[in-house]
Every structure is written in C-alpha cells, then in structure tokens.
C-alpha cells in the first residue's frame, strides 16, 4: 500500500453514496488527493478526470468498478482541488502529467494499471499509453482523441479550431481567472450547463465544483495545463498505441468532432469504439451505466 497522509477532513470531499475513502498519496514527488475504493488486492484502475472537474467527475463509475473487484483510485490530478499545485507553467507539461500516472502506479506497488481518462485525463492517458505502454494493462479514452489526431485536426480543420478557441482565451494572464470567478463562477457553470444534456448537473454538483475551483491557486493551476500545452507543443515519440484501447464517445460533443474518435482508432493496434447517443462531452455523467459497462467490458 502507498504511504498516505491523514484522511480528508473536509466532509464534502466524499459524498455518502460514494464507496471508499478520501486520502492523500505521495507519487512522482508530489502529493495527490485520491479517492480509493474496492479490494486492496484487486487489479488497479486509475480514473483520470478532465477540465474543469476533479475526482468527483467519476463518482458514478466508482461503485460499479469496485463491486467487480477492482481497486479503484481516482486522483485529483496535478493542480486540481486538493492535490499539490506547483507554481510554474512548465510544471504542467504533458510529460510531467504522464509521470504522475506512472508514479501513482508505483505508489500502489503495481507493475501495471488500467487507465481511464476523460477530456484532459484522456490526453494524459494517451501520452502514457504511447510512452509507457508496459505500465498499462488497458486504456479507455472518454471523449478524448489521440494527440496526433488533435494536432492534425487543429491544423487542418477551421471548424474544429473554432470549437477549441476557448483554449486561446486561457493563454491570457490573469484575465481568465478573473472572469471565471466573477458572479460566483457563472462562466464555467454556464459552459457546463450549455454543453450538456438538460439536468445533467445539479445545484449540489455545482456547489462541489465551486468549492474545488475556489481553493487557493487551483483555477490558475487548471489553466496552466492549457498554457503549458500552447507554449511547448510536444510530439509523441510514436503514433501507434500498442495498449488495448477503447474509445467511449458522446456523439453530441460541442468541443470535439465525432470524426476525431474514428480517426484515433487508426493509430491503435488493438482498438475499438463505443458510441453513446443522447450524450455530449459529459457522457459519464449523462449515461453513467453505459459508460461503466463499457469500461468493465474493456477491462475484462
């Protein structure tokens, strides 16, 4: 077992309907807040959230996976919520984010783990699958394209570039932080509501998101993921993913074209896709059972 600090004191950090415990783990020289569930001896599964979420984005998938006997670990990724947030933009480069993943696998004294990632968590998962394939038993990308597909699509598809234009806004210093915090985080709340199916996020959900966003330095750290990617655009050492891979894709994603999912399969030696209709970029919230079933199918 990893060395852990004291369990989370914040009573809102772990809802009563989510199994397991909230704790802290040392990995890759950093301190990560994680939620752990399932038998300690089970196969390790890491669930990686995206922007602007935190571990809570996977809350509906924790119990189904833990009930299957997996050791489920859901970290707040670097800079998010209660995890450590280094101060430099360069500390959020993709290489460091991927090293956090292998560091977590090491922290749990495992050779390999199954990695599931949504949005930015999927980007980190792709990079880890490409550069540390011996550490992943399987990989599930949820509305997150292969990095080569992202690069080529952005350079050749003006419509996708427009969809991703918010990332350019995030490059400004201080202004994005000020605007997103204004009026009790009205901008990110509106973005999540407008881009998801009606009723996907509740008032209680947004209370939790606001608490996570409002932690000192957290939102700047979250934006630094985008800033680091723009300042230094890394190219993978190889394009082909050897790790068994499944893409899960909500068809009505307003940020990423559906075609990018199928283009990503071209780079997978052993890949498949689960298309989820009546779902958007936030598919794991909108169709939690279908997403959990697809993950379990891939892991088995």
270 counts as catalytic:
no
> 158 — phi, psi (to 5°)?
-60, -35
Cβ-based neighbour number of residue 112 at 10 Å: 16
Q: What is the CA radius of gyration of the chain?
A: 18
Catalytic residue among 49, 76, 118, 119: 119
Residues whose CB is less than 8 angstroms from the CB of residue 162 and which lie 6 or more positions away in sequence, other chains included: none
CB 90 within 8 A of CB 97: no
Chain center to CA of 67 = 22
Q: Under DSSP, is residue 276 helix (H, G, I), strand (E, B) or coil?
A: strand
Q: CA-based angle 177:126:110, to the nearest 5?
A: 105
Catalytic residue among 108, 226, 252, 267: 226
33 counts as catalytic:
no
Bond before 75 cis per omega within 30 degrees: no
281 counts as catalytic:
yes
Burial class (CB in 10 A: 0-12, 13-18, 19+), 47: buried
Look at residues 100, 122, 97, 127 and name the one whose alpha carbon lies nearest to residue 225: 97
Q: Under DSSP, is residue 163 helix (H, G, I), strand (E, B) or coil?
A: helix
Q: Is the dihedral of CA 218, 222, 225, 227 positive or negative?
A: negative
Catalytic residue among 49, 146, 252, 281: 281
Cβ-based neighbour number of residue 201 at 10 Å: 18
> 23 — phi, psi (to 5°)?
-155, -175
- Residues classed as catalytic: 119, 226, 281
């Amino acid at each position: 077992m990893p060395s852990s600090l004291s369990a989370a004191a914040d009573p809102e950090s772990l809802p009563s309907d989510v199994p397991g415990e909230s704790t802290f783990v040392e990995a890759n020289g950093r301190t990560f807040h994680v939620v752990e569930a399932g038998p300690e001896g089970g196969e390790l599964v890491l669930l990686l959230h995206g922007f602007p979420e935190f571990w809570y984005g996977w809350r509906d998938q924790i119990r189904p996976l833990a009930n299957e006997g997996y050791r489920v670990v859901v970290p707040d990724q670097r800079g998010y919520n209660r995890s450590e947030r280094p101060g430099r933009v360069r500390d959020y480069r993709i290489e460091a984010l991927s090293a956090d993943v292998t560091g977590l696998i090491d922290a749990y004294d495992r050779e390999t783990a199954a990695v599931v990632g949504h949005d930015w968590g999927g980007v980190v998962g792709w990079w880890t699958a490409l550069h540390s394939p011996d550490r992943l038993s399987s990989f599930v990308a949820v509305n997150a394209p292969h990095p080569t597909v992202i690069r080529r699509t952005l350079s050749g598809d003006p419509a996708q570039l427009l969809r991703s234009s918010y990332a350019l806004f995030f490059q400004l210093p201080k202004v994005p932080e000020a605007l997103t915090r204004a009026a009790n985080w009205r901008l990110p709340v509106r973005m999540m509501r407008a881009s998801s199916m009606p009723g996907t996020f509740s008032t209680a959900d947004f209370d939790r998101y606001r608490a996570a966003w409002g932690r000192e330095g957290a939102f700047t750290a979250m934006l630094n993921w985008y800033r680091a990617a723009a300042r230094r655009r890394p190219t993978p050492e190889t394009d082909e993913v050897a790790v068994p891979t499944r893409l899960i894709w909500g068809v009505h994603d307003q940020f990423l074209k559906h075609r990018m999912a199928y283009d990503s399969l071209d780079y997978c030696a052993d890949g498949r896709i689960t298309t989820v209709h009546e779902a958007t970029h936030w598919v794991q919230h909108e169709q939690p059972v279908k997403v959990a079933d697809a993950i379990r199918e891939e892991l088995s």
